[in-house]
Structure 1
Amino acid sequence: MMRTAVVPGSFDPVTLGHLDVITRSAKIFDRVIVAVLHNQQKKPLFSVEERMSLIKESTNTLLNVEVASFNGLLMDFVCEHKASVIIKGLRTVTDFEYEQQMATVNRHLNENIDTFFIMTNSDYAHLSSSIVKEVARYKADLKSMVSLPVEQALKEKFN
């Protein structure tokens, strides 16, 4: 039986921490779908299409990873793609408290879908997309934070 997992997020932009979770998920599951949230209430730096493209470029060696976007409830997306697991990366205790609440709601919506938590590699635990954008705004070195395609895209946005 093929096991499909969904790794959801806004990924604005995708960081090395995100890529760590995606890569590790790809080693565990047969199929991993990176689901880019289209949140109309936020003003992202990158469009959904740009974020998807950057994730595809950054994961092009992971043959079992796909990239898609979604609006609305994550659970609807998960069911539509016949996934059985949601993967959430955790950096801190604060992340856990929020993600535990979301996992409980998702479990209430569909008891057949499990949420797996993966602790982000400690090398990336300090990273967030917001921090990366702030560092990029001041043209500091991004090599330890994002993949080369993302670094180039950030430089273009802030030049």
Structure 2
Amino acid sequence: MTIALCPGSFDPVTNGHINIFERAAGIFDHLIVAVFNNIRKTPFLTIEDRLSLLQESTRHINNITIDAFDGLLADYVKDKKADIVVRGLRDQNDFFYETAQMIMLKRMVPDVEMVYLMSEHKYSYVSSSAIRELVRFKGNIEGLVPDCVEKTIKEKSIH
């Protein structure tokens, strides 16, 4: 059984992420989507909110597990016995960033393979940071994130 791992902060999860998960789940036997706390970013949503929203928005994918981790990705990959790390790419900037990250991971876990899935064109401009900026300035995020994410963000923005 091939276990693929798709790590990310998913703060918040977007429709582009969901598309990558759906496609990866169609390729590999099992997909683990793992939320990590990115120490380089101030969180928009709590880990608990992100896990809940990922659970709800991926309910239709049968071979997926939603999880969270703290620490080194290499240790998590080993712990989960993952064969593949999947990363979604929107453009060449993502490619350069992800390649540097994956070279370091490969150094620590030589047996793991890296797979990049290109974003579908309609999602190529959608990022979690763009969503956070739209929310901050009361922009419209409809159609860019799963409905449950939009609803949660609207509810949290009111308080």
Q: Does 1:61 align with 2:60?
A: yes
Other structure's SS at 2:16 match = helix
TM-score normalised by structure 1 residue count: 0.95
Query: How do 1:59-138 residues align onto structure 2 when only pairs under 5 Å count?
Result: 59-138=58-137
Q: Which residue of 1 aligns with 2:153?
A: 154
Matches of 1:151 and 1:136 in 2, distance apart? 10
Q: Indicate the larger mover: 30-39 or 4-13.
A: 30-39
Compute the displacement of 1:36 (Å).
0.2
Matches of 1:126 and 1:30 in 2, distance apart? 29
Matches of 1:101 and 1:40 in 2, distance apart? 17
TM-score normalised by structure 2 residue count: 0.95
Q: Is the 8 A contact 1:18 1:89 kept in 2?
A: yes
Q: Does 1:139 align with 2:138?
A: yes
Compute the displacement of 1:41 (Å).
4.9
Deviations 1:97-139 (A, max 9, x none): 1111111111111111011000011100101111111212333
AA of the residue aligned to 1:19: I
Q: Which residue of 1 aligns with 2:38?
A: 39
Which stretches in structure 2 are left out of the alignment for 5+ residues? none
Compute the displacement of 1:154 (Å).
1.0
AA of the residue aligned to 1:153: T
Q: Is the 8 A contact 1:139 1:155 kept in 2?
A: no
Matches of 1:60 and 1:123 in 2, distance apart? 22
Other structure's SS at 1:142 match = coil
Other structure's SS at 2:104 match = helix
AA of the residue aligned to 1:142: I
Compute the displacement of 1:27 (Å).
0.4
Count how many residue pairs are aligned between Structure 1 and Structure 2: 158
Other structure's SS at 1:130 match = helix
Matches of 2:104 and 2:129 in 1, distance apart? 26
Matches of 1:89 and 1:79 in 2, distance apart? 21
Which stretches in structure 1 are left out of the alignment for 5+ residues? none
Percent of aligned pairs sharing the same letter: 39
Distance of aligned partners of 1:41 and 1:90 in 2 relative to their CA distance in 1, 3 Å threshold: closer
Other structure's SS at 1:103 match = helix
Matches of 1:63 and 1:24 in 2, distance apart? 12
Cα-Cα RMSD: 1.1
